[in-house]
């Protein structure tokens, strides 16, 4: 895909995009260390959680640097950029869009000017009361829309709303403002934020998304601290896991260490899908290894859905641990029947039409000598629309497989997620419409077996009452607003949906340098210069109300709020050919 500045992104074409996971957030307090590079490597470890944009903010106490752009962490940052970002503490963000379209103006960290300094904020999760929060912001402004800050500059995210509400406070400190605002947020939120002098972190009362605290000791430093979405990011920067940030907990980190305050009673409802697919296998959540959970899910799947076969294989990479567990439990040998090219979708060269016609083979290629004549069990983590699995089954049959049995290490996905994962609308979820037998028929599989909800939860070793399973059960642990007051495109104008944004293709390079005032004052909006030296953002982008978009009328009880993006298998979905896709009109005859 060509950006407005002529550079190519990693997307294959304008309608293709990478996997849609959940954002990754990172924060580090490490005076004397290169905090920009630590954050870069932290984000690198969290890249799987969001590939749309990346950003880092650093502070040396008086000066804040922010740099962000569309693309992967390795595409946005280079040595020179990181070297120009000194500081004692930093935050970072890797984005995948949940509220607000995927464009430049919505990249994070977001910025705001508070009476006491500058606020930079990064958010993982999705709020469900954004419309109420916007009403609150309007009320604070005497009914008028924001005239400065990110919202006025075209940012349409719930993150910009939180930033604006935090910035426009009447308290003596950002800490007090946060303790006032955090209890009013509803939904999933793991925040890392900072001002010139302190690093902060907060996690929603349900703890839907993971957030962990680590300590960092180096030759130069005795008491550094790291906050990250996953323990794997602590490992990669050399930090030692201390503990989870508790649901409902707010942390303040500065030269005095870590101070913990509770803004809400913990009411845990952790996302079970983090164990199934989202988190890295080398991450630990609530004391349980994600890898071990997935292997156990595979074992349980074998107990529940045994079948005679010659080989167990995985849809790479996410199906691998469960396939290993299935093979172990069943005694059927494990083998690699598909080779994955990890770099497709990251290419800077757009494929020609001839190449595109290869479809999913661009990404996966069967090992004919391995699968030919064999009865195969292929293990995957989930089925969303079923198109990918259908293409894989066909590919294996074309390569000579005698039988193809599909096994899935999560139960049927029947409901959309409003807490930070875009699966699809209900009408696109194949398990919402059809029985397991009919789905197997659609996939062209000899048999299909899903793990039971009980088996999946047991594999996580978490108490069921502490987990969110809403996409499987439809029981949402955090109350949802009415359909007209939720959804990904709540604040996007019709023209702005999915557009390039006001400065698309120009990386934001922000330097804020000013005396941090001792007394509250009304600071003006921060100026944002782009990498290519365009005029200040405020002068370029018309300010005004970001309209609340009329939501389309729900059809047949399906979610029509914009949650129609591909889900966990979207990287493969993007490569599907038209004939691989299930037509909207398709009906599988139920018996
Ligand atoms: S609905 Fe599903 S994906 Fe969303 S938080 Fe709950 S378990 Fe996770």
Over residues 33-75, the pLDDT tens digits come to 999 999 999 999 999 898 888 999 999 998 899 998 888 898 8
The residues facing 2 across adjacent strands are: 8
Atom 5 of ligand 1: nearest residue by CA position: 271
The predicted model gives 551-569 an average pLDDT of 35
pLDDT at 541: 30
Structural domains of the chain sorted by starting position, each given as residue range(s) with its CATH number in brackets:
24-269+489-523 (3.60.20.10), 289-465 (3.40.50.2020)
Average pLDDT in the chain? 80
**473 CA from centroid of ligand 1 (Å):** 10
Q: How many residues does the chain have?
A: 591
Residue 325 in 3-state DSSP?
A: helix
Q: How confident is the model at residue 98 (pLDDT cuts 50, 70, 90)?
A: low
Strands 284-285 and 288-289: antiparallel
Ligand 1 centroid to 159 CA: how many Å?
Answer: 20
Distance 568 CA to ligand 1 centre (A): 12
Contacts of 44 (CB under 8 A, 6+ apart): 73, 74, 236
Helix (H, G, I), strand (E, B) or coil at 454: helix
How far, in Å, CA of 260 to CA of 377, rounded?
49
> Of the residues 210, 270, 271, which should be mutated to test ligand 1's pocket, given the most ligand atoms within 8 Å of the CB?
271
Q: Give the strand order in the sheet containing 375-380.
A: 311-314, 375-380, 403-408, 447-450
CA distances in angstroms from 488 to 71, 108, 125, 268, 280, listed in the order given: 20, 16, 12, 24, 25
Closest ligand 1 atom number to CA of residue 272: 7
In short, whether 271's Cβ falls inside 6 Å of ligand 1 is yes
Average pLDDT over residues 197-214: 97
CB of 469 closer than 6 angstroms to any ligand 1 atom: yes
Backbone angles phi, psi at 203, to 5 degrees: -135, 140
pLDDT at 522: 34
279 lines ligand 1 (CB under 6 A): no
Q: Which of 45, 49, 55 is nearest to 107 (CA)?
A: 55
Digit-coded pLDDT (tens) for 355-392: 555 667 777 899 999 999 999 999 999 999 898 899 99
Residue 518 vs residue 132, higher pLDDT: 132
Residues 28, 32, 35, 37: what is their CA dihedral angle, to the nearest 10 degrees? -140
Closest Cα partner for 50 from 22, 73, 74?
Answer: 22
Give the position of tokens 């990064």.
122
23 classed as catalytic? yes
pLDDT at 264: 97
Query: Is the distance from the beta carbon of residue 208 to the nearest atom of ligand 1 less than 6 Å?
Result: yes
User: For residue 107, what pLDDT is reported?
Assistant: 79
What are the structure tokens assigned to 67, written together?
């740099």
The rounded distance, in Å, linking the Cα atoms of 562 and 489 is 6
Task: Please give the Cα distance from 449 to 410 (Å, whole number).
Answer: 10
Measured from the CB, is residue 471 less than 6 Å from ligand 1?
Answer: yes
> Per the confidence metrics, is the pTM higher than 0.85?
no
Residue 491 has pLDDT above 60, yes or no: no
Give pLDDT, residue 52: 81
Determine the pLDDT at residue 138. 86
Distance 468 CA to ligand 1 centre (A): 6
Assess whether the C-beta atom of 456 lies below 6 angstroms from ligand 1: no
């Amino acid at each position: 895909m060509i950006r407005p500045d002529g550079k190519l992104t990693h997307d294959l074409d304008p309608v293709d995009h990478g996997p849609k996971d959940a954002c990754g957030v990172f924060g580090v307090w490490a005076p004397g260390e290169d905090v920009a590079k630590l954050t870069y490597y932290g984000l690198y470890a969290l890249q799987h959680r969001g590939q749309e944009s990346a950003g880092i903010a650093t502070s040396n106490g008086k000066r804040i640097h922010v740099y962000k752009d569309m693309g992967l962490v390795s595409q946005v940052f280079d040595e020179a950029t990181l070297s120009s970002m000194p500081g004692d503490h930093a935050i970072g963000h890797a984005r995948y869009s949940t509220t607000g379209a995927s464009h430049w103006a919505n990249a994070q960290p977001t910025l705001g000017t508070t009476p006491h300094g500058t606020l930079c904020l990064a958010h993982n999760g999705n709020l469900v009361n954004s419309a109420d929060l916007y009403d609150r912001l309007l009320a604070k402004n005497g009914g008028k829309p924001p005239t400065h800050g990110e919202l006025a500059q075209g940012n349409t995210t719930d993150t910009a709303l939180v930033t604006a509400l935090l910035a426009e406070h009447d308290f003596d400190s950002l800490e007090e403002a946060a303790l006032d605002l955090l209890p009013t947020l509803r939904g999933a939120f793991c925040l890392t934020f900072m001002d010139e002098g302190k690093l902060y972190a907060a996690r929603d009362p349900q703890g839907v998304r993971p957030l962990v605290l680590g300590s960092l000791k180096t030759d130069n430093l005795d008491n550094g601290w790291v906050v990250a979405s996953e323990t794997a990011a602590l490992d990669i920067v050399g930090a030692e896991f201390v503990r989870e940030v508790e649901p409902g907990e707010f942390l303040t980190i500065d030269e005095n260490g870590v101070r913990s305050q509770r803004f809400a009673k913990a009411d845990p409802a952790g996302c079970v899908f983090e164990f199934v697919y989202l988190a890295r296998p080398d991450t630990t959540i609530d004391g349980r290894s994600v890898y071990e959970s997935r292997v156990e899910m595979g074992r349980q799947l074998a107990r529940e859905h045994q079948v005679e076969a010659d080989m167990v294989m995985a849809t790479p990479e996410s199906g691998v641990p469960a396939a290993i567990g299935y093979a172990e439990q069943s005694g059927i040998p494990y083998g690699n029947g598909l080779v994955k090219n990890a770099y497709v979708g990251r290419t800077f060269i757009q494929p020609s039409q001839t190449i595109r016609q290869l479809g999913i083979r661009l990404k996966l290629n069967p090992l004919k000598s391995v699968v030919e004549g064999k009865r195969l069990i292929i293990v995957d983590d989930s089925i969303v629309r079923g198109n990918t699995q259908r293409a894989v089954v066909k590919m294996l049959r074309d390569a000579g497989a005698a039988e193809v049995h599909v096994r899935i290490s999560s139960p049927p996905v029947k409901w959309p997620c409003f807490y930070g994962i875009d699966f699809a609308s209900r009408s696109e979820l194949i398990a919402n419409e059809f029985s397991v037998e009919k789905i197997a028929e659609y996939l062209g599989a000899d048999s299909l077996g899903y793990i039971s909800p009980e088996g999946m939860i047991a594999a996580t070793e978490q108490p069921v009452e502490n987990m969110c399973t809403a996409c499987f059960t439809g029981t949402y642990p955090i109350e949802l607003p009415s359909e007209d007051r939720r959804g990904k495109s709540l604040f996007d104008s019709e023209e702005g949906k999915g557009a390039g944004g006001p400065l698309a293709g120009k990386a934001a390079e922000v330097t804020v340098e000013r005396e941090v005032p001792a007394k509250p004052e009304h600071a003006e909006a921060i100026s944002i210069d782009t990498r290519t030296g365009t005029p200040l953002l405020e002068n370029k982008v018309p300010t005004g109300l970001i309209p609340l978009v009329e939501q389309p009328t729900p059809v047949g009880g399906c979610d029509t709020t914009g949650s129609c993006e591909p889900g966990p298998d979207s990287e493969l979905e993007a490569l599907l050919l038209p004939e691989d896709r299930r037509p909207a009109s398709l009906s599988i005859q139920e018996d």
